[in-house]
């Protein structure tokens, strides 16, 4: 699997956590680069004390979402699932015993959490039988984990990788597949935006064409010519004598003028702009202001501030951190081991 993002950029959003009991108190901020701590605190809705060290030693904070994969034949629960089950007085084990959660491959169950746990929302992800867990299944699970986090609009995520009881090479493959999925999310090309100058030029040309059409439509008709659709109606109405039509003060002329359709004056409904003197454009051609976001709309995921903490077994922490940081590079201008 190819890696496109530079390791120095990837470590800004992904952090490897050792699986230990202290993880029940939250993830560690000292794994975050110092200049990134304010963004993380903002994502967690935590205040930042300007007079205090923003990254105190041993500080731990809660995260928004926890993703915990579970094998269907894993009894009792191991890893982070076992710690959460212990802290929650066997709540996860009860869900599995009742058959509500089977941990079958592809299954996912959203569980609300209380303040005793380091996460606000928990998703149990089924892995199926342990014997069937291979590299292809690892890639599928990594894609599923990232889709869940983006689908739930989580900005801080704790992922427990199934690294206990499996081969170290397979554990590394799971972590590598997860990094590739996160890289694709972070480096995904933004939607191309139209050029404002091209839009303005197109709008001006369209407005000019419309002005010409409106001017042609408003041109006075030739004497004796009637629109086909208006001819029957006008023919049925009485016509005033020519003398009264020529005299605007004549009673018949005043009566005809009162019955004639009046030209609309003022601004159209819903348009408070003053009349500029030119032809009015239909609402479909008027420049539209960007719509304000509705309070009910879910916020878009900001991948620049989203953070992932990956909890793994203590035996593979150093190995996976090397995978995250990339292969060692020779110092600039320094000696090379191969020379």
Tally the C-alpha atoms within 13 A of residue 73's C-alpha that lie toward its C-beta.
Answer: 7
At residue 291, the pLDDT reads 47
Look up the CATH number of domain 7-188+301-325.
3.40.220.10
Q: Which of 36-40, 73-77, 188-192 shows the highest mean pLDDT? A: 73-77
* Average pLDDT rounded to a whole number, residues 304-320: 85
Q: Which residues contact residue 250 at a Cβ distance below 8 angstroms, ignoring those fewer than 6 apart? A: 240, 243, 244
Confidence of residue 231 (pLDDT cuts 50, 70, 90): low
* Average pLDDT rounded to a whole number, residues 133-142: 92
Q: Find the radius of gyration of the CA atoms of the chain.
A: 35
At residue 309, the pLDDT reads 94
Least-confidence region, from 5-14, 47-56, 259-268: 47-56
Question: How would DSSP label each residue in 69-124?
Answer: EEETT-SS--HHHHHHHHHTTSHHHHHHHTTS----TT-EEEEE--TTSSEEEEEE
- The DSSP secondary-structure symbol of 167 reads -
Confidence of residue 29 (pLDDT cuts 50, 70, 90): confident
- The DSSP secondary-structure symbol of 178 reads H
Q: How many CB atoms lie within 10 A of CB 155?
A: 21
Residues in the chain: 339
Q: How many CB atoms lie within 10 A of CB 230?
A: 9
- Kindly list the distances between the CA atom of residue 160 and the CA atoms of 90, 116, 142, 211, 239, in Å, as whole numbers in the listed order: 18, 18, 11, 64, 89
* Average pLDDT rounded to a whole number, residues 82-87: 94
Residue 256 pLDDT exceeds 80: no
- Kindly list the distances between the CA atom of residue 107 and the CA atoms of 53, 172, 210, in Å, as whole numbers in the listed order: 42, 23, 57
Phi, psi torsion values for 158, nearest 5 degrees? -110, 120
For the segment 181-225, what is each residue's pLDDT rounded down to a tens digit?
A: 988 887 764 544 445 555 556 666 766 666 666 665 555 555 555
Confidence of residue 167 (pLDDT cuts 50, 70, 90): confident
Q: Are 164 and 311 in contact (CB under 8 A)?
A: no
Q: Characterize the bridge pairing of strands 119-128 and 108-112.
A: antiparallel
* Average pLDDT rounded to a whole number, residues 74-79: 90
CA atoms of 255 and 89, how far apart (whole Å): 90
């Amino acid at each position: 699997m190819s890696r496109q993002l530079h390791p120095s950029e990837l470590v800004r959003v992904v952090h490897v956590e050792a699986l230990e009991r202290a993880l029940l108190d939250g993830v560690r901020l000292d794994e975050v680069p110092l200049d990134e701590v304010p963004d993380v605190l903002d994502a967690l809705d935590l205040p930042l004390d300007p007079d205090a060290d923003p990254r105190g030693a041993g500080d731990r904070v809660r995260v928004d979402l926890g993703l915990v994969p579970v094998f269907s034949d894993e009894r009792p629960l191991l890893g982070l699932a076992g710690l959460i089950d212990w802290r929650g007085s066997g709540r996860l084990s009860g869900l599995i015993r009742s058959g509500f959660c089977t941990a079958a491959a592809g299954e996912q169950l959203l569980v609300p959490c209380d303040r005793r746990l380091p996460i606000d929302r928990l998703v149990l992800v089924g892995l199926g039988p342990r014997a069937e867990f291979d590299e292809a299944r690892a890639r599928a699970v990594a894609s599923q984990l990232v889709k869940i986090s983006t689908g739930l609009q989580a900005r801080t995520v704790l992922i427990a990788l199934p690294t206990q009881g499996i081969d170290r090479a397979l554990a590394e493959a799971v972590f590598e597949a997860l990094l590739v999925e996160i890289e694709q999310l972070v480096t995904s090309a933004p939607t191309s935006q139209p050029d404002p100058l091209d839009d303005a030029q197109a709008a001006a040309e369209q407005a000019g064409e419309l002005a010409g059409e409106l001017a042609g439509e408003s041109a006075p008709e030739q004497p004796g010519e009637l629109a086909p659709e208006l001819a029957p109606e006008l023919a049925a109405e009485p016509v005033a004598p020519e003398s009264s039509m020529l005299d605007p003060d004549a009673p018949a002329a005043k009566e005809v003028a009162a019955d004639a359709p009046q030209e609309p004056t003022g601004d159209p409904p819903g348009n408070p702009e003053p009349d500029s003197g030119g032809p009015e454009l239909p609402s479909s051609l008027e420049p539209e202001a960007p719509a304000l976001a509705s309070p009910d709309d879910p916020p878009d995921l900001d991948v620049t501030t989203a953070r992932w903490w990956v909890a793994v077994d203590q035996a593979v922490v150093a190995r996976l951190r090397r995978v995250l940081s990339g292969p060692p590079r020779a110092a600039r201008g320094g000696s090379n081991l191969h020379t």
